[in-house]
Homo-oligomer: A and B are copies of this chain.
């Protein structure tokens, strides 16, 4: 062969080495397991859609980032989130679905953003949504924080706070202040409180036309704190003046009571009147989740309640509530911070190393151990012993099984624990049990290890 093409991967596209891919897969498997444990159903939609369908709602910045092209005379676009495909799917399959429709989807989405470190153009989103037909009970909004809690604790991350708010509380409050014309702008400013601070928020509010007393009211309001019960009580103090506000407080009270019923510990959630979520389609409950020791990375799981999922496709009213995890980014951050345990980054449990030319006994051993539930690889290449054992070492395979003349004659196998160096010659049943005992300890290790 003459000229070679340089093998490269596009910038902004994550492509992992096997040991990292194993970790990523363990995280994804944990998410799926938790989603399924709440009765969510899997969904897999195409990466490519007709542009007309995918961009029914999009506009502005989003549209510029989209990978859009023609093939023949078809105008195509790659999905940029999992929400629009869900809306299309539910509208299209309305009569075949049973509502409330609970679905999870983990899939790649595409955004042609400016390339920079930690920003991805192809990335996984992990979404769950509960979609109602015409109505969806508010208590569903309490189930999602319970799922967030289960996901992160199952992964090994317990140092997080789920922040909960309700858009009706915010917009009702601003109506009371006669600032309802500027609600969208105010919410946008208020949403930045943590980023830019109290003074900068006040300044921006003034620029928007709020007078000193309005500014003070807003700042007092968004600073309300305490236990969930205390915050609800303080909010009740503003009650009776605005219907939207009162509804919002009722919802927030129902949701936080529900979260407690779901046994989410108090330390892992709180009402935060500052969060509003950027997207303009949330209409009730909103969520953000912060990794407490790293607030700088922003929310690691966000979402909320919306009035109408699919209004661009159907007249049916389909309210819903959902959350989304930016899985690729989360993995990138956890990995870069060194929080991912190596326990999951092994492919095989045992490497069988044949020491004689006759492989049939070794292959038989591999069959038997595999049937006993072990992941078994045989080293087939004709290399020196040092190279063979080095292979197990490099791949982090926890056990090596040697099969020589003696083992074949005795119908046994010699197993070496690569970590401790311990070596045992015994029957297949016995060595399998020994290996499984060690492995089950490693497998129960959580993928995220903060210490």
In the complex, the answer to whether A347 meets B18 with C-beta atoms within 8 Å is no
Decide: A380 and B72 in contact? CB cutoff 8 A: no
- A443 in the interface (beta carbon within 8 A): no
- The answer to whether A347 touches B41 (Cβ under 8 A) is yes
Query: Is B363 touching A7 in the complex (CB atoms < 8 A)?
Result: no
Q: Which residues of B contact A88 (CB under 8 A)?
A: 7-9
A38-78: CB near B (< 8 Å → 1, else 0) gives 11111111111110110010000000000101111010100
What residues on B are CB-neighbors of A139 within 8 Å? 359, 380
A102 neighbours in B (Cβ, 8 Å):
347, 377
B-contact 0/1 string along A121-138, CB 8 Å cutoff? 110000000001001110
Task: Select A4's contact among B89, B314, B367, beta carbons within 8 Å.
Answer: B314
Please tell me if the beta carbons of A311 and B44 are within 8 angstroms of each other in the complex. no
Q: Are A347 and B47 in contact (CB under 8 A)?
A: no
Check: A261 CB closer than 8 A to any chain B CB: yes
Task: Judge whether A380 and B140 touch: CB under 8 Å.
Answer: yes
| CB nearest to A262 among chain B residues | B363
A6 at the interface (CB under 8 A from B): yes
State A378–B261 Cα separation when bound (angstroms): 13
Q: Are A37 and B370 in contact (CB under 8 A)?
A: yes
Stretch of A93-101, A217-225, A420-428, A433-441 that contacts chain B: A93-101
Which stretch (A21-29, A205-213, A270-278) binds chain B?
A: A21-29
A101 to B, closest residue via Cβ: B18
Residues of chain B contacted by A132 (CB below 8 angstroms): 381
In the complex, are the beta carbons of A9 and B49 less than 8 A apart? yes
B36 x A375 contact (CB < 8 A): yes
Known A-B contacts A53-B7, A137-B380, A377-B102; the reply to A44 vs B16 at CB < 8 A is yes
Instruction: Give A124's nearest chain B residue, CB to CB.
Output: B44
Q: Given A45-B15, A263-B367, are A348 and B122 also a contact pair (CB < 8 Å)?
A: no
Using Cβ atoms and an 8 Å threshold, which residues of chain B touch A103?
18
The reply to whether A24 and B44 contact each other, CB–CB distance below 8 Å, is yes
Q: Is the CB of A42 within 8 A of B71?
A: no
Chain multiplicity (copies): 2
Q: Scan residues 383-418 of chain A and give those whose CB is less than 8 A from a CB of chain B.
A: 391, 394-395, 397
A401 to B310: give the CA distance in the assembly, Å: 32
Question: Could you tell me if A47 and B313 are in contact, using CB atoms closer than 8 angstroms?
Answer: no
Check A42–B25 contact: CB distance below 8 A: yes
CA distance A53 to B15 in the complex (A): 15
Query: Are the C-beta atoms of A15 and B44 separated by less than 8 Å?
Result: yes
CA distance A10 to B21 in the complex (A): 31
Question: A57's closest neighbor in chain B, by CB?
Answer: B5
A49 to B38, CA, bound (A): 37
When the two chains form their complex, are residues B375 and A312 in contact, meaning their CB atoms are under 8 A apart? no
A92 lies within 8 A of chain B by Cβ: yes
Q: What is the bound-complex CA distance between A74 and B258, given in angstroms?
A: 50
The residue on B at minimum CB distance from A55 is B5
The answer to whether A22 and B42 touch (CB under 8 A), given A6-B313, A50-B8, A313-B4, is yes
Could you tell me if B41 and A18 are in contact, using CB atoms closer than 8 angstroms? yes
A112 touches B (CB below 8 Å): yes
Question: A92-B7, A359-B261 are known contacts. Are A394 and B98 too (CB-CB below 8 A)?
Answer: yes
Determine the residue in chain B with the shortest Cβ distance to A374: B37
Q: Is A353 an interface residue (CB 8 A)?
A: no
Residues of B within 8 A of A43 (CB): 18, 21
In chain A, positions 131-153 with a C-beta closer than 8 Å to chain B are 132, 135-137, 139-140, 143
Taking the complex as formed, is A110 at the interface, i.e. its CB lies under 8 A from any CB of chain B?
A: yes
Q: Would you give the shortest CB distance from A232 to chain B, in whole angstroms? A: 17
- Return chain B residues, CB-CB under 8 Å to A367: 262-263
Q: Is A238 an interface residue (CB 8 A)?
A: no
Closest 6 CB pairs of A and B: A39-B377, A39-B348, A69-B69, A18-B41, A7-B92, A13-B46
